[in-house]
Structure 1
């Protein structure tokens, strides 16, 4: 991400890699995506149960996040998009995030992404998004909008968002369960083709109301329980 001028149809792979990097200062490292609560509840105890947890996140949260990131890329790429369109997209994702702690975590990371957008492209970038969603849009929407500034195609942004739905919890599992990081990474590698398939389907254009709405009630319950737990290592 450099903020330099480039052809609008020229995707910048390095910029996407920077956006998807776990070291991006967007706060992702402090979120476990429900994994910490699942570990405390005895639902995830080893590599096999972690695999089930991650696949569940990928096919629900990952699918929804991927679709909204792709939709945000398209909105940001349309010069006629106004604040109302961004507000509608944000409201649709809000409706698909029933647990308050999950909404708060998503918006906290979205706020950080907008700070990055301002630092790279200037304080007035994505002005319509800011007008429609405020300074704390949902993470997937902010990610897609920022990806569009880097000429990242919708499907590529969707793939990055889908994969991010499992890489964070996987990293948390290494810390919480002292799992072998190499075996955990191998697990992520096996999930990568599924993330690509989800991204390909999620990138299909459709109205905001028709975007995927896959739910994960157990993750919602875990998110609520997590806020009441003492001695938490992760914010979510």
Structure 2
């Protein structure tokens, strides 16, 4: 195993399509919920403890060997918004392309065949980590970091926020990323033996509502 593979997988320049998505930040900026670094931090913290936790648990469970088909169904059940389900599958499809080219894997090939329009991104992320020789904890960390780094990067573009301030937000959230990754890993380990129903289902209704509103916009900078 090369732990450096985690740097490749978590790198924002890895061609997994995340640069085209704001994680709900674009709608939040327009609604006035994100206006500066302080409100960005609050938004990212809320996203981390809800969508981030769920994604990290799904990714860690996939990396630990849980049934990816069941995990995909669990992801669907935990994503009420059709717009967010569509975005997750688009991201999953793009990540699948990148992962199969980088770390060829029979498990990735099988999942791609079963979900030709894309499996949920966290499930693909977990199998990609597994194919790269990484551990479930690595998949969890990758997912929690993505949950906050995407909105932070998008807000720099949306508000012309100082990138130093956005990076400082991520640094301040680092201890909470550790705690959420630990919770996700514990749930993933249980899911392997007890089934996917034990995975967290933390909800963020405002993110779901915002995603549906965002999907109706005729002009937008980000896909979600």
TM-score, reference length from structure 1: 0.88
Aligned to 2:112: 130
How many residue pairs get aligned? The number is 218
CA distance in 2 between counterparts of 1:226 and 1:197 reads 31
- Give the structure with higher Rg (CA): 1
Instruction: Report how far residue 225 of structure 1 moved.
Output: 0.4
- Write out aligned runs for 1:1-236 (5 A): 10=1, 12-75=2-65, 85-122=67-104, 124-204=106-186, 205-206=189-190, 207-236=195-224
Preserved CA contact (<8 Å) 2:129 2:138: no
Structure with higher helix content: 2
Computed over aligned residues only, the root mean square deviation of the Cα atoms, in angstroms, reads 1.5
Instruction: Report how far residue 108 of structure 1 moved.
Output: 0.8
Aligned to 1:4: none
Instruction: Report how far residue 124 of structure 1 moved.
Output: 4.6
Aligned to 1:7: none
User: 1:134-175: CA deviations, max 9, x gaps?
Assistant: 451111110110101111111121011101101000001111
Instruction: Report how far residue 132 of structure 1 moved.
Output: 4.5
Q: Which moved more, 1:55-64 or 1:148-157?
A: 148-157
CA distance in 2 between counterparts of 1:121 and 1:172 reads 28
TM-score, reference length from structure 2: 0.92
Structure 1 residues without counterparts, runs of 5 or longer? 1-9, 76-80
CA distance in 1 between counterparts of 2:31 and 2:15 reads 30
Instruction: Report how far residue 121 of structure 1 moved.
Output: 3.7
Instruction: Report how far residue 127 of structure 1 moved.
Output: 3.5
CA distance in 2 between counterparts of 1:112 and 1:40 reads 27
Instruction: Report how far residue 42 of structure 1 moved.
Output: 1.2
Match of 2:54, SS?
Answer: helix
Instruction: Report how far residue 131 of structure 1 moved.
Output: 4.7
CA distance in 2 between counterparts of 1:109 and 1:192 reads 24
Instruction: Report how far residue 118 of structure 1 moved.
Output: 2.3
CA distance in 1 between counterparts of 2:64 and 2:74 reads 16
Instruction: Report how far residue 38 of structure 1 moved.
Output: 0.7
Structure 2 residues without counterparts, runs of 5 or longer? none
